[in-house]
Amino acid sequence: MKKVRIGIAGYGNLGRGVELAIRQNDDMELAGIFTRRNPETVKTVTENAPVYRIEDAKNMQDKIDVMIICGGSATDLPQQTPELAGYFNVIDSFDTHARIPEHFSNVDKAAKESGHLAFISLGWDPGLFSLNRLYAESILPNGKSYTFWGKGVSQGHSDAIRRVKGVKKGIQYTVPVESAMDAVRSGSQPELSTREKHTRECFVVPEDGADLAAIENEIKTMKNYFDQYDTTVNFITEEEFDSIHNKMPHGGFVMRSGLTGDGEKTHQMIEYAIKLESNPEFTASVLICYARALARLKSEGKTGCMTAFDIAPAYLSRLSGEELRAQML
Amino acid sequence: MKKVRIGIAGYGNLGRGVELAIRQNDDMELAGIFTRRNPETVKTVTENAPVYRIEDAKNMQDKIDVMIICGGSATDLPQQTPELAGYFNVIDSFDTHARIPEHFSNVDKAAKESGHLAFISLGWDPGLFSLNRLYAESILPNGKSYTFWGKGVSQGHSDAIRRVKGVKKGIQYTVPVESAMDAVRSGSQPELSTREKHTRECFVVPEDGADLAAIENEIKTMKNYFDQYDTTVNFITEEEFDSIHNKMPHGGFVMRSGLTGDGEKTHQMIEYAIKLESNPEFTASVLICYARALARLKSEGKTGCMTAFDIAPAYLSRLSGEELRAQML
């Protein structure tokens, strides 16, 4: 069997996750890691992983079946994904929900022009959570959907904390409100405000002599990030921070509360939940399994841009249609 | 917009569920209910629903886009689905897991020969649970999957109870063992025996003067049905039975506990759960939303047999690709 040769563009936490996920799928192999840094300074997780300058990728088109682009959604992906789609089949995890239509259109154009296939916005949200919203809303048209995130680390909010004066280290956990989730499960279809759905828990290591009250106030009143939430700020030592808050757990819930039957009075509840010890490793696992689907759909002649919505589930599995029906249906 | 015209073959609880589900989807309309009974004796849930003899269906090929076959898996569907696939696009909820490959092959042959499209084994298990097994196992190849059912009414086990001498009325609830589910969620990947995963709870109205100890013993030792489980038998009055145990709730859980990362030590947990006040109404809702997908795939020229694995999620939704990306991704 010919393995799917994977390129990794961008080598942060997600890129390392992809590198490790390849090892769990022996129909995949790592063709190369591509970085903006000097390749000689990059220490890879696996031994003998080939590292190249990102500019050199274009010369390796015949060695890479799928390029997984592991940059950030704010500035990297809007530029990198359309550009690399000119040279490769690509997958990204673009997660700025409001800008997905624009990103889709740019990537679709580039991929169609060059005859490549591109999957965008994969991971768990967007990605698996989107799929669950779609399945549940299609099945229960009379109902209400809810998405809760956490408990987990929000990179954007942690970055925001670290920009506050007097903060040496900081991390933020998004915490779903248990009583709000229970209200949804009860079938009461509550209207929930932003404040009622999640709380924000911050752990901060202050600089020596910093004004703690000022830090706490600046965080709690920060526009868009914290002002709409009940936020707690905990000051801790650097030792505690380094030993406990060095992981990237996350998770969340997609719920659909619907009504069916005569008079639409019968309550039906669908709930999808994930609990992750490592957000980037899980996201990477999703991307790698969609790389399998991409290789297959490309071999069937598909080009342009697709999302999780457009991909039949069977393409993700190593099992044949016959095996799937016998073992998993 | 042209509506999808639905035929219902077989008018029990599931057929009534489909009839009601059509009313929740205004891109669908009921073309006719087909029954083995005398149509004049059939009282439909909705007013003016047209009821025909099942033999007359073949003369109505031009009036029906999708025939949803609502018979039982034991004897009805193995015969009806291939036969009706000779005349219609069909959907069934065939749920005898071990016989799915054979059923698929029979239906595929009939549908291909007549140029129709058939979806089999839809509902929640097989169906939504199968999809969740496939997605989760593809994403987390190093892991262990678990399916728990309940709390809910098992029709087969309730029927078995009612055949016991001295039983006037009886119902059986399958109950998942909470501590077993918690063990799975902990990431310990336990090996669970049949007895450890579910208990069986029976409610029995005895005939006057029946030997209660004999009934209880016969139920608890019944081969395959109860002997491998911890079973409780509760004797209740007919009034209590009729007022409390007249519904068909069900539900269940699909869980995947997987490991990722360096040394494969990072625990990642995926859990899908449904909690249904009415099993047949929910199953019907799944079937109707796949009828939309069928009509679309047929219009693209697809024929033969497909399962949930083969159908891209976007086909289920009333929203366009553009709308889905903007609103649901």
Q: Tell me if chain A has a CB within 8 Å of the CB of B276.
A: yes
The distance of A166 to chain B (nearest Cα, Å) reads 34
Q: Tell me if chain A has a CB within 8 Å of the CB of B312.
A: yes
∠ CA(A277), CA(A279), CA(A283), 5° rounding? 130
Q: Tell me if chain A has a CB within 8 Å of the CB of B246.
A: no
Buried residues in B290-307 as b, exposed as e (16+ CB within 10 A): bbbbbbbbbeeebbbbbb
Looking at the predicted structure, is the pLDDT value of residue A122 above 90?
yes
The residue type found at B80 is Q
Mean pLDDT of A110-129: 98
Cβ distance of B260 and A285 shorter than 8 Å: yes
Mean pLDDT of B18-33: 98
Cβ distance of B266 and A285 shorter than 8 Å: no
Mean pLDDT of B291-295: 98
> Which pLDDT belongs to residue A261?
97
**Mean of the per-residue pLDDT values of chain B:** 97
Distance CA A168, CA A204 (A): 7
**Each residue's pLDDT tens digit, A203-253:** 999 999 999 999 999 999 999 899 999 999 999 999 999 999 999 999 999
Could you give the percent of chain B with pLDDT greater than 70?
A: 100
Closest chain B residue to A20, measured at CA: B261
Choose the closest CB to B307 out of A267, A317, A325: A325
Cβ distance of B262 and A101 shorter than 8 Å: no
**Each residue's pLDDT tens digit, A274-327:** 999 999 999 999 999 999 999 999 999 999 999 999 999 999 999 999 999 999
Q: Tell me if chain A has a CB within 8 Å of the CB of B307.
A: yes
> Which pLDDT belongs to residue A128?
98
Q: Which residues in chain B touch residue A268, judged by CB atoms under 8 angstroms apart?
A: 274-278, 281-282, 285
More reliable by pLDDT, B74 or B284: B284
Q: Which residues in chain B touch residue A131, judged by CB atoms under 8 angstroms apart?
A: 135, 313
Q: Peptide bond preceding B151: is omega within 30 degrees of 0, i.e. cis?
A: yes
Cβ distance of A274 and B271 shorter than 8 Å: yes
Of residues A294, A288, A269, the one with CA closest to residue A182: A269
> Which pLDDT belongs to residue B231?
97
> Which pLDDT belongs to residue B11?
97
Cβ distance of A134 and B316 shorter than 8 Å: yes
Could you give the percent of chain B with pLDDT greater than 90?
A: 97
Mean pLDDT of B47-56: 95
**Each residue's pLDDT tens digit, A137-174:** 999 999 999 999 999 999 889 999 999 999 999 999 99
Looking at the predicted structure, is the pLDDT value of residue A75 above 80?
yes
> Which pLDDT belongs to residue A1?
73
H or E segment to which residue B106 belongs: helix B100-114
> Which pLDDT belongs to residue B218?
97
Q: Which residues in chain A touch residue B185, judged by CB atoms under 8 angstroms apart?
A: 275
Mean pLDDT of B138-163: 96
Distance CA A273, CA A250 (A): 11
Interface list for B 182-201 with A (CB within 8 A)? 185
Q: Tell me if chain A has a CB within 8 Å of the CB of B244.
A: no
In whole angstroms, how far apart are CA A24 and each of A21, A44, A314, B135? 5, 17, 19, 16
Mean pLDDT of B112-133: 98
Of residues B109, B68, B108, the one with CA closest to residue B88: B68
The distance of A2 to chain B (nearest Cα, Å) reads 19
**Each residue's pLDDT tens digit, B82-94:** 999 999 999 999 9
**Each residue's pLDDT tens digit, A96-111:** 999 999 999 999 999 9
Q: Tell me if chain A has a CB within 8 Å of the CB of B262.
A: yes
Looking at the predicted structure, is the pLDDT value of residue A9 above 80?
yes
Cβ-contact A163, A192 below 8 angstroms = no
> Which pLDDT belongs to residue A272?
98
In whole angstroms, how far apart are CA B56 and each of A217, A321, B7? 75, 35, 12
Of residues B298, B305, B290, the one with CA closest to residue B113: B305
Q: In angstroms, how far is CA A16 from the centroid of its own chain? A: 14
> Which pLDDT belongs to residue A158?
95
Q: Which SS3 state, helix, strand or coil, does residue B256 take?
A: strand
Cβ distance of A309 and B308 shorter than 8 Å: no
pLDDT band at B1 (very low <50, low <70, confident <90, very high): confident
Of residues B265, B270, B311, the one with CA closest to residue A124: B270
Closest chain A residue to B96, measured at CA: A329
Interface list for B 90-149 with A (CB within 8 A)? 97, 100-101, 104, 121, 126, 128, 130-131, 133-135, 137-142
ipTM for this model: 0.97
Mean pLDDT of B130-135: 98
Mean pLDDT of B205-226: 96
Cβ distance of B268 and A285 shorter than 8 Å: yes
Cβ distance of A142 and B328 shorter than 8 Å: no
Interface list for A 213-242 with B (CB within 8 A)? none
**Mean of the per-residue pLDDT values of chain A:** 97
In whole angstroms, how far apart are CA B268 and each of A250, A251, A285, B75, B274? 10, 9, 10, 41, 20
Distance CA B37, CA B51 (A): 10
Distance CA A122, CA A283 (A): 8
Beta bridge partners of A306: A119
Choose the closest CB to B310 out of A133, A138, A314: A314
> Which pLDDT belongs to residue B236?
98
Closest chain B residue to A263, measured at CA: B20
